[in-house]
Amino acid sequence: MRFPDSFIAAWLLNILLPGLGHVFWKEFSFGLFIYLITLLAGVLYVALLFVPMPYFAEMLILWLPLVFYLFTFIDLARTVKRKRKTFSRTMRRIFLFLLIGVVYQIISPAAVLNIAWRNRPEIYTMQNNRLNPRFATGDVLKTDRLEYMIDIAFVGKPILHHMPERFEMVRFVDDQGTRRTGFVLGLPYESVMVADGLVVVNDLPDPHDGPLGVSLRGDWPLTVAGQYSILVATANLGSVDQVYEIGLDQLIGKVDKLF
């Protein structure tokens, strides 16, 4: 069996651009239908980032298009088996279609590769013990960008869909352009101070556990966050070391230990 007439070639096209494998074998209407369904699934995924829904409803909306997409591979195998008896595809044609699929993945805002690359996690190694016992020297950390925002091609800047919660560990860029790791201390419009390790928000003590796995120590004077900014604190072995007021566009993502 030649490569252009193989199941692998058709499946590869379907991975690069849903429906392209069917178009390659001249099933134009069904190929377009497959693409529109997967495009709709992508739009719904982005919409679910902004519109909270019950877990079951989210799974139903996301899994039904996925099941349909997996079914297209079975249907595509049947199509190849049936149609290659009457006509075959050429290497030149498969190369052209593969090129279309690759270009689609690179430039299309709806392509999985494009979205994954633009929102790829930042992985880095902790260089000191300042966030001990939460993170220690040598820990490999992962910054999840999609936890708070999504970056889509042709949109001027990442779209914030979820505000970080207090005490979540985050990666951010300070005003000097330095990337730092700290924990959220205050949200927009909040006034926050630290008195003997106790976090006081809008004149009320916050009863929740701290971010480091141990009680905070030290003091920090009253600091107010703006409408479009949050307060992020860095620490030194349990004590608040510095508090930064950063714009939401300076937030990189949520930090977790990778290993």
Tokens of 243: 């508090």
- Strand 239-247 relative to strand 229-236: parallel, antiparallel, unpaired? antiparallel
pTM for this prediction = 0.80
pLDDT digits (tens, 9 = 90+) for 102-158: 999 998 888 888 888 989 999 999 999 899 888 999 999 999 998 999 888 777 778
Tokens of 106: 């690179």
Mean pLDDT of the chain: 90
Q: How confident is the model at residue 48 (pLDDT cuts 50, 70, 90)?
A: confident
Whose structure tokens read 């689609």? Answer: 104
Q: How confident is the model at residue 257 (pLDDT cuts 50, 70, 90)?
A: very high
| Domain limits, the chain | 3-118, 122-257
**Which distant-in-sequence residues (6+ apart) come within 8 Å of 257 by Cβ?**
135, 139, 140, 141, 142
Which homologous superfamily is 122-257 in? Answer: Umud Fragment, subunit A (2.10.109.10)
pLDDT digits (tens, 9 = 90+) for 188-242: 999 999 998 889 999 999 887 778 777 788 899 999 999 899 999 999 888 888 9
Beta bridge partners of 143: 122, 255
Calculate mean pLDDT across residues 170-195.
Answer: 94
Q: Is the pLDDT of residue 1 over 70?
A: no
Identify whether the C-beta of residue 170 lies closer than 8 Å to the C-beta of residue 164: yes
Counts of helices then strands in the chain (DSSP H, E) = 6, 13
For residues 184 and 161, what is the distance between their CA atoms, to the nearest angstrom? 17
Q: 151 exposed, middle or buried (CB, 10 Å; 0-12, 13-18, 19+)?
A: middle
